[in-house]
């Protein structure tokens, strides 16, 4: 297994900038997730590492060696796609053996059989080995696709939204299996997705990509609790972080004067830049506490049951914010709801740029 490094990668397709000075570092045995919306440059990044495309500038290193001039096969990475690309007329066994029978490899028949057996056992597809792949379910096909990547024992796994065509329940199961597999093999994973739940649940570290740029790299905890800007703050987490634009004056932030004013602790206020006027507040739904004595009041605009809890949308004038409440709390739509916001849980973003005013880079990208 190997360490992968991208340094200052730029890539254009005609006049469209796909990647803009992208640098990142995936550690040996790390599960790294590139997260971003459609068109962010996630798949382009994978294709460059796999050698299916070349960057306009910048370098790609695998285990310290610049692989810019290497062919896809020489790079020894495995790519797993959203759409499984299995040979339909072959059995599962033949599909798994296929990558090992390449004439570059010279692997003995016994070794091939042993590797296929081991992979089939790990993925729990032993009972399917003699079945043709067009007779498999979606989840089974995706397991076989993974198996075909694993059996090669590549240095790096590149995964392009491998779970996105599966239904929700299966995705949940395979998420856990993938993470388990990655830990078991101590494999280096670079996993691409637009699904923040997948990223949060599997990643050792997440790189958030938007418009071809890396916005933030961090552990799930850092990304969730210290988002670099309003893009990360609202892209990660469900429901999205509440954002409220207000004016900072006399130690408090006024969103709606007289109705939605949030006093700040002196210690919090002192950390804000001098001369700050307009500011965007960020607060997560779980930090908006519904209950009497909160000092704030909103109107219940909607209530969503999520089984284990409810999510209430509160409106204060035209501003809306979501709050998580216990499942057994009764909330009438259109009723007045008292609530509080814990000032210690607030995030502050610059009004114009959306950059988190309290954000500090935890560690440099490159030593």
Partner 1 sequence: MASIVLRNVEKYFGDNYIVRKLNLEIRHREFLVLLGPSGCGKTTTLRAIAGLEEIDSGEILIDGQAVQNRQAADRDIAFVFQLFALYPHLTAYANIAFPLRATKENRNVVDRRVREVAKALRIDGLLDKRPSALSGGDMQRVAIGRALVRRPKALLMDEPMGALDAKLREEMRAELKHIHLENEATTVYVTHDQVEAMAMADRIAIMNDGVLQQVGLPSDVYQYPVNLFVAQFVGSPIMNVVNGAIRPGDGCTNVVLGENDAVQRFPVELHHKVAERRQGQDKLAIGVRPEAVLVARQATDGYFPAEAHIIERLGPYDIVDLKFGTQLFRSRTASGYVKKAGDVVWARLDEKQTHFFDDRTGEALRIRL
The residues of the shown chain that bind partner 1, judged by CB under 8 A, are 37-38, 167-169, 172-173, 176, 179-180, 183, 194-197, 200-202, 220-221, 224-225, 234-240, 284-286, 301-302, 304-308, 311, 313, 324, 327, 333
State how far the Cα of 112 lies from the Cα of 97, in Å rounded to an integer. Answer: 7
Q: Considering the complex, what minimum distance in angstroms separates the CB of residue 260 from partner 1?
A: 19
Q: Considering the complex, what minimum distance in angstroms separates the CB of residue 25 from partner 1?
A: 21
Question: SS3 string of 29-53?
Answer: CCEEEEECCCCCCHHHHHHHHHCCC
Q: Considering the complex, what minimum distance in angstroms separates the CB of residue 237 from partner 1?
A: 5
Question: Which string of b and e fits 42-81 if b means at least 16 CB within 10 Å?
Answer: bbbbbbbbbbebebeebebbbeeeebeeeeeeebbbbbbb
Q: How far apart are the first and last CA of the chain?
A: 21
Place of tokens 């309003």: 230
Q: Considering the complex, what minimum distance in angstroms separates the CB of residue 59 from partner 1?
A: 33
Q: Considering the complex, what minimum distance in angstroms separates the CB of residue 141 from partner 1?
A: 16
Q: Considering the complex, what minimum distance in angstroms separates the CB of residue 334 from partner 1?
A: 8
Q: Which C-beta is closer to partner 1: that of 21 or that of 195?
A: 195
Q: Which C-beta is closer to partner 1: that of 293 or that of 307?
A: 307
Q: Which C-beta is closer to partner 1: that of 212 or that of 237?
A: 237
Q: Which C-beta is closer to partner 1: that of 238 or that of 245?
A: 238
Q: Considering the complex, what minimum distance in angstroms separates the CB of residue 304 from partner 1?
A: 4
Helix or strand (DSSP H, E) at 111: helix 109-122
SS3 92: helix
State how far the Cα of 229 lies from the Cα of 89, in Å rounded to an integer. Answer: 49
Q: Which C-beta is closer to partner 1: that of 252 or that of 345?
A: 345
323's tokens = 């709050």
Which phi and psi angles does 185 have, rounded to 5°? -90, -5
Q: Which C-beta is closer to partner 1: that of 38 or that of 108?
A: 38
State how far the Cα of 297 lies from the Cα of 339, in Å rounded to an integer. Answer: 6
Q: Which C-beta is closer to partner 1: that of 12 or that of 315?
A: 315
């Amino acid at each position: 297994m190997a360490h992968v490094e991208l340094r200052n990668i730029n890539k254009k397709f005609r006049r469209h900038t796909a990647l803009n000075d992208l640098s990142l570092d995936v550690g040996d045995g790390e599960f790294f997730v590139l997260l971003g919306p459609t068109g962010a440059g996630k798949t382009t990044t994978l294709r460059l590492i796999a050698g299916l495309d070349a960057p306009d500038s910048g370098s790609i290193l695998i285990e310290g060696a610049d692989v810019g001039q290497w062919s896809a096969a020489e790079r020894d990475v495995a790519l797993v796609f959203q759409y499984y690309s299995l040979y339909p007329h072959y059995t599962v066994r033949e599909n798994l053996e296929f990558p090992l029978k390449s004439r570059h490899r010279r692997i003995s028949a016994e070794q091939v059989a042993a590797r296929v057996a081991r992979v089939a056992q790990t993925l729990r597809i032993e009972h399917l080995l003699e079945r043709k792949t067009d007779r498999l379910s979606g989840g089974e096909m995706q397991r076989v696709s993974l198996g075909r990547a694993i059996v090669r024992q590549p240095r790096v796994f590149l995964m392009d939204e491998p779970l996105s065509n599966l239904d929700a329940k299966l995705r949940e199961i395979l998420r856990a299996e993938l993470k388990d597999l990655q830990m078991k093999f101590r494999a280096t994973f670079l996993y691409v997705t637009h699904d923040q739940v997948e990223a949060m649940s599997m990643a050792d570290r997440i790189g958030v990509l938007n418009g071809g740029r890396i916005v933030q790299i961090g552990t799930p905890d850092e990304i969730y609790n210290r988002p670099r800007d309003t893009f990360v703050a609202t892209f990660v987490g469900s429901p999205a972080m509440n954002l409220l634009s207000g004016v900072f004056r006399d130690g408090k932030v006024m969103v709606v004067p007289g109705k939605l004013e949030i006093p700040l602790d002196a210690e919090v206020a002192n950390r804000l830049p001098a001369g700050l006027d307009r500011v965007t507040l960020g607060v997560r739904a779980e930090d908006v506490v519904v209950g009497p004595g909160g000092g704030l009041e909103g109107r219940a605009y909607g209530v969503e049951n999520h089984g284990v809890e409810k999510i209430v949308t509160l409106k204060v004038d035209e501003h809306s914010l979501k709050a998580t409440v216990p499942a057994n709390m009764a909330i009438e739509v259109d009723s007045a709801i008292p609530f509080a916001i814990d000032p210690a849980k607030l995030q502050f973003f610059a009004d114009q740029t959306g950059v988190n005013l309290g954000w500090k880079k935890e560690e440099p990208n490159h030593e």
